[in-house]
Amino acid sequence: MVQIRLPENSKIEKGNYFKDKTGSKNLRKVNVYRWDPSTGKNPRIDTYEVDMDNCPSKVLDILNKIKNEIDPSIAYRRSCAHGVCGSCAMNMDGKNGLACTKPHSEIKGDINIYPLPHLKVLKDLIGDLSTLYKQYESVEPWLKTSKKNDEKENLQSKKDRAKLDGLYECIMCACCSTSCPSYWWNGEKYLGPAVLLQAYRWIIDSRDEDRKERLKKVADELKLYRCHTIMNCTNACPKGLNPAKAIASIKKMLATS
């Protein structure tokens, strides 16, 4: 049997246990990954007993309750709380998603919350997205056109506009890319499903005049063809999008152009 020996400071230890002080009869245990690089200590799992009688319905509500009433030191990202910004992406019950849209009632037993996999952890549940955003910048996600008439809209037909459905809704939460094994192993070079879906959104836009160059930029063995259609990305998307289909569409365009 193969045995993997992890570096000493990467082993997850048992953390603090926060018992309920409210006397509630409706409690749930919430296990949260904790790591603070400034302490030099190993990561740990802290366990919180949370009064569910006074907690709204989402996982983010649980985290807010823990931070506001039990342990203010816990760190995580949050913003809109309506599934629009993607800030609160994390791994809950073994699956990537948005804490603000994930009902805690769907999780059976203890609630286990971790940062998104693969990413370098900055602190607790906050992953480092700097590489992802550099890759996003590399596909130049803006309209390229020679038209300079500011007095008239750059119109497109309803048929062409419909091609953007399922693409423009992406909020770059990174749930798909961090669920992809190919991105885990080749994250520095493979663009990953989130960025490739965004690339396709501009490649397919009828108003853009740089399609050939955009296709040329992603036509690389590592940037594009590390996708093996595992479909984790589509399963993980909290917006119900299909990055795998977008990647396949780019491959088809390259094969037939």
User: pLDDT of the chain along its 257 residues, tens only?
Assistant: 667 676 777 888 999 999 999 999 999 999 999 999 999 899 999 999 999 999 999 999 999 999 999 999 999 999 999 999 999 999 999 999 999 999 999 999 999 999 999 999 999 999 999 999 999 999 999 999 887 767 778 889 999 999 999 999 999 999 999 999 999 999 889 999 999 999 999 999 999 999 999 999 999 888 999 999 999 999 999 999 999 999 999 999 999 97
**Among the CATH numbers 3.30.1700.10, 3.40.1160.10, 3.40.640.10, 3.10.20.30, which is that of 8-127?**
3.10.20.30
Give dist(CA 68, CA 48) in Å, integer.
13
Instruction: Give the domain ranges of the chain.
Output: 8-127, 130-149+157-256
What pLDDT does 4 receive?
67
**Among the CATH numbers 1.10.10.60, 3.30.565.10, 1.10.1060.10, 3.90.320.10, which is that of 130-149+157-256?**
1.10.1060.10
Q: Say which amino acid occupies 40.
A: G
What pLDDT does 2 receive?
63
What pLDDT does 155 receive?
87
What pLDDT does 251 receive?
96
Give dist(CA 12, CA 244) in Å, integer.
33
What pLDDT does 1 receive?
61
Pairing of strands 13-18, 27-34: unpaired
Cβ atoms of 41 and 74 within 8 Å: the answer is no
Whole-structure pTM over 0.85, yes or no? yes
Give dist(CA 121, CA 126) in Å, integer.
6
